[in-house]
Amino acid sequence: MGRWNKSREIVTKAVCGKGRTYEQETHIIAVPHDPTGVLGAWMMNHRCEAERVGDGVDVHGTYTMSVWYAYDHNSKTDVHEQAIAYTVHVPLQEMDEARHAHTEHVLVHVVQPPNCIDASIDQPARNVVVRVEWELTIELVAETKLNVCVCPEEEDKHKPVWDDVDEQLFESMSRYAPPQR
């Protein structure tokens, strides 16, 4: 047998599933005065959390939307704030079927926090219409098994490792590899 004559299973925490979502929503905001112009719209205080549901993750989030607008023939301005809540389902991909489900936890990464991409006045209703976008990535972390080859310490550490791989051991380890897509 060659240099790589043993293998070990290592249990470790790893990313066992991934997801990504880009969202756009349109909000119709009823402001206290009849608006004559929209001067700005911004989002702040974004918070979100996730829970594992079915084949993916549900992300529940909130943020505060502030709309700065003019009224009374553009002679006065006001800022209107409104709390916004959302829930999105993010399907998971690249799932590791060898993961231990009871050890799962979900990480949410905010790639792009909620951001205004357009704000205008809905003329007939006299409301402010705000389009918002945001992007999230999800990582499902859980315990899983890795199969690694073990090299005895007394061997020459400077010898290229792939020169001596035992083909039979390598083939037996390939059954642990995820299926190719």
pLDDT digits (tens, 9 = 90+) for 128-179: 999 999 999 999 999 998 888 877 666 556 666 555 556 655 565 555 555 5
In order of 12, 117, 173, the CA distances from 9 in angstroms are: 10, 50, 10
pLDDT of 181 above 50? no
3: pLDDT confidence band, cut at 50, 70 and 90? low
Question: What pTM value is reported for the model?
Answer: 0.75
Output the six-digit token pair for 32: 């206290």
1: pLDDT confidence band, cut at 50, 70 and 90? very low
Q: Give per-residue pLDDT as tens, 5-26.
A: 678 889 999 999 999 999 999 9
Pick from 50-54, 70-74, 119-123, 172-176: least confident: 172-176
Q: Give per-residue pLDDT as tens, 116-137.
A: 999 999 988 789 999 999 999 9
| Closest residue by Cα to residue 2 from 170, 147, 175 | 170
Instruction: Please calculate the CA angle 158-162-163 and round it to the nearest 5 degrees.
Output: 75
pLDDT of residue 158: 64
How do the domains of the chain map onto residue ranges?
Answer: 17-142
Q: Give per-residue pLDDT as tens, 75-100.
A: 999 999 999 999 999 999 988 888 98
| Closest residue by Cα to residue 134 from 94, 91, 80, 88 | 88
